[in-house]
Structure 1
Amino acid sequence: MNITVYEKPTCTTCRNLNKLFEEKGIDWKKVNYFIEPFTETKLSALLKKAGMKPFDVLRRAEPDFKLAGIDKDSSDKDVIAAMVKFPSIIQRPIVEVGDKAVLARPIEKALEIL
């Protein structure tokens, strides 16, 4: 089973998920999406696997959210483009396993797709 966690290493929730996986002996690949940025295609596919709309995974309190120029009436395409341009507005961590994905908030949600 290939498990990929899309994260920001300084994020407390991401660090807690890593600790949980370590404690459970789970092998996974970490992807810092600030260093290895999402493409619109990859992000769209990931959200589809999670069954989530792009606007539902936004960090609306982030300063970059205002800069992104999107709101609840923006098209999914425009929201995804903003997420790629401003990765800080993406909720994290996102866990991908095969044809499934989940926003691991709380972190235990990641265990549901393993």
Structure 2
Amino acid sequence: MITIYHNPRCGKSREGLQLVEASGQDFEIVKYLNDVPTENELKGILKKLGMQPMELIRTKEAIWKENFKGKEFTDDELVTIMVENPKLIERPIVINGNKAVVGRPPENIKDIL
């Protein structure tokens, strides 16, 4: 089963969802701003992505600039920051089995479908 962590207000996320839908495979949508992943879930997602927490943070968001920019954080602290501020999580994230990609650009999603 494919899972897409989706923000309907984001154009890239909507494009990613269209690619998943077009694949014809079963999938589930997680609207992560409402259904926020737990710290353990987010750590699992990061492991599947092969990314460090800082790589998944949207550093251009006002929340980041106003509250966190220029400060040092451990990986665990960064995961906590993303769970407490899910708007900072890069999107969309598509998971298929043990593989995951960030759909920026959306064509990345084709690699795991």
- The answer to whether TM tops 0.5 is yes
How many pairs were matched up? 113
Q: Secondary structure at the match of 1:36?
A: coil
Change (3 A) 1:102 1:68: farther
Give the TM-score, by structure 1 length: 0.89
Percentage identity across aligned positions?
A: 38
Q: Which runs of 4+ in 1 moved over 4 A?
A: none
Structure-2 change in CA distance of 1:46 and 1:54 (3 Å):
same
1:98-109 to structure 2, matched below 5 A, reads 98-109=97-108
Which residue does the alignment assign to 1:93?
A: 92
Alignment of 1:50-61 (within 5 A): 50-61=49-60
- 71 and 39 in structure 1: CA distance in 2 versus 1, 3 angstrom threshold: farther
Query: Separation in 1 of the partners of 2:82 and 2:64?
Result: 9
TM-score normalized by the length of structure 2: 0.90
| Unaligned segments of structure 1, at least 5 residues | none
CA–CA separation in structure 2 for the residues paired with 1:62 and 1:5: 21
2:75 match: 76
Separation in 1, partners of 2:23, 2:96: 16
Q: Deviations over 1:29-83 (max 9, x none)?
A: 1100111111000000000011000101111111111354365742100100000
Query: In 2, distance between residues paired with 1:81 and 1:10?
Result: 23
Matches within 5 A, 1:6-21: 6-21=5-20
Q: Give 3-state SS (helix, strand or coil) of 1:10's partner.
A: coil
Q: 1:94: how far off?
A: 0.3
Structure 2 unmatched ranges of 5 or more: none
